[in-house]
Amino acid sequence: MLKNDPHFLMYYNSILETIGDTPLIRLNTLADDLEGTILVKVEYFNPGQSVKDRIGLKMIEDAEEKGLIEPGGTIIEGTSGNTGMGLALAAAIKGYDCIFTTTDKQSKSKIDILRAMGAEVRVCPTNVEPDDPRSYYSVAKRLSEEIPNSYYPNQYDNPSNTQAHYETTGPEIWDQTGGAITHYVAGMGTGGTISGVSRYLKEQNEKTQTIGVDSDGSVYKKYFETGEFDKEEIHPYLTEGIGEDIIPGNMDFDLVDKVMQVSDKDAFLMTRALAEKEGLFVGGSCGAAVYGALEYARDNDFGKDDLMVIILPDSGARYVSKIFNDEWMSEHGFLDAE
């Protein structure tokens, strides 16, 4: 049928078909001192408002193909919130139940959203060792062993995480920039986003520079620079979704050229600046990625022929009670007294 036919229909078969093809948007005010082009890939245009929609669908589809979950089964995962949402979207369409474990540092709105999607959420303490039976890693693994017909995606070590970005996010960035990208920047959490995209981009052009952004309090930066896993580097931080106290199987440091570490304060103030100056209402790890990217560009002769793409993983809607709340910011020392 022709589009001017009154009976022509344009629709998707399910919400899952709307995942991906997110836009690139140029930074203007915040990068006006740089000659090159700074673009951000805004992942809150995904239906679950985060980059994790991509891996949620991919991990479940691959599990189905391998027979790791049967109809009516239960998906069990440890998540900071966004991966849970991606899994919950796919589960809603495919008819699975969900149980998610998360940490007590995650925003209440993230937990409420997961419950709104029909998931059971169990909140676990943040400040325990990863192998502690109370940690959200351990609780998720234990539940998956106890509950029949359940599937534990384990986004940290599941190769489908990296593969999702190799198959979708990387090619999108390459096509959207016409192959002109010179620098790729992403936060380092499970490792899937930075590793999958970097592998694809470096296969197209080995000169592409990949800059990882870590949180102050995480082991990644020192491990990248020295190869030493130093527990002394680990301390509590509030930025959600990046940094780790483990080295996940999806984190491929051979695909990273530089790691920038960003404090909570710098991340959150940049997050607010992105909303106020660029109209980008995004989450705290987005602010960290942009802060780290701009610091890198200013320190490394970023020129007029350079083109940088920064992944902005999620929406600011999940952080209204924290990063966008003056009282909360002041209580944590992130705003000046005045």
3-state secondary structure the chain: CCCCCCCCCCCCCCHHHHCCCCCEEECCHHHCCCCCEEEEEEHHHCCCCECHHHHHHHHHHHHHHHCCCCCCCEEEEECCCHHHHHHHHHHHHHCCEEEEEEECCCCHHHHHHHHHCCCEEEEECCCCCCCCCCCHHHHHHHHHHHCCCEECCCCCCCHHHHHHHHHHHHHHHHHHCCCCCCEEEEECCCCHHHHHHHHHHHHHCCCCEEEEEEECCCCHHHHHHHCCCCHHHCCCCCCCCCCCCCCCCCCCHHHCCEEEEECHHHHHHHHHHHHHHHCCCECHHHHHHHHHHHHHHHHCCCCCCCEEEEEECEEHHHHCCCCCCHHHHHHCCCCCCC
Residue 255 clears pLDDT 80, i.e. is over it:
yes
> Residue 185 to residues 188, 236, 256, 294: CA-CA distances in angstroms?
10, 24, 10, 10
What average pLDDT does the chain have?
A: 94
pLDDT of amino acid 19: 98
Q: 120-160, pLDDT tens digit by residue?
A: 999 999 888 888 999 998 999 999 999 999 999 999 999 99
Q: Please enumerate in sequence order all residues whose Cβ is within 8 A of that of 132, keeping only pairs 6 or more positions apart, or say none.
A: 138
Residue range 15-45+165-331 forms a domain whose CATH class is alpha beta
pLDDT of amino acid 1: 41
CB atoms within 10 A of CB 216: 18
* Burial label, 43 (beta-carbon count in 10 A; 0-12, 13-18, 19+): buried
Q: Which of 41, 52, 202, 221 is catalytic?
A: 52
pLDDT of amino acid 129: 85
Q: 329-338, pLDDT tens digit by residue?
A: 999 999 975 4
Helices 108-116, 82-94: axis angle to 10 degrees equals 0
Q: How confident is the model at residue 217 (pLDDT cuts 50, 70, 90)?
A: very high
Percent pLDDT > 70 in the chain is: 98
Q: 6-63, pLDDT tens digit by residue?
A: 677 789 999 999 999 999 999 999 999 999 999 999 999 999 999 999 999 999 999 9
pLDDT of amino acid 338: 44
- Can 231 be counted among the known catalytic residues? no
Parse the chain into domains and list their residue ranges. 15-45+165-331, 52-151
Looking at the DSSP bridge assignments, the partners of residue 150 are 74
Task: State how far the Cα of 161 lies from the Cα of 81, in Å rounded to an integer.
Answer: 16
* Burial label, 143 (beta-carbon count in 10 A; 0-12, 13-18, 19+): buried
pLDDT of amino acid 10: 87
Is pLDDT larger for residue 303 or for residue 7? Answer: 303
pLDDT of amino acid 29: 97
Task: State how far the Cα of 4 lies from the Cα of 264, in Å rounded to an integer.
Answer: 52
> Residue 266 to residues 40, 261, 310: CA-CA distances in angstroms?
18, 10, 17
Question: The tokens of 48 are what?
Answer: 């679950």
- Tell the CATH topology of 52-151: Rossmann fold (3.40.50)
Q: Do domains 15-45+165-331 and 52-151 have the same CATH topology?
A: yes
Strands 307-312 and 24-26: unpaired
pTM exceeding the 0.85 threshold for the entire prediction:
yes
Q: Residue 109 corresponds to which amino acid?
A: S
Task: State how far the Cα of 120 lies from the Cα of 130, in Å rounded to an integer.
Answer: 21
pLDDT of amino acid 107: 77
Q: Give the mean model confidence (pLDDT) for residues 93-122.
A: 91
Q: Give the mean model confidence (pLDDT) for residues 308-322.
A: 95
Residue 97 clears pLDDT 80, i.e. is over it:
yes
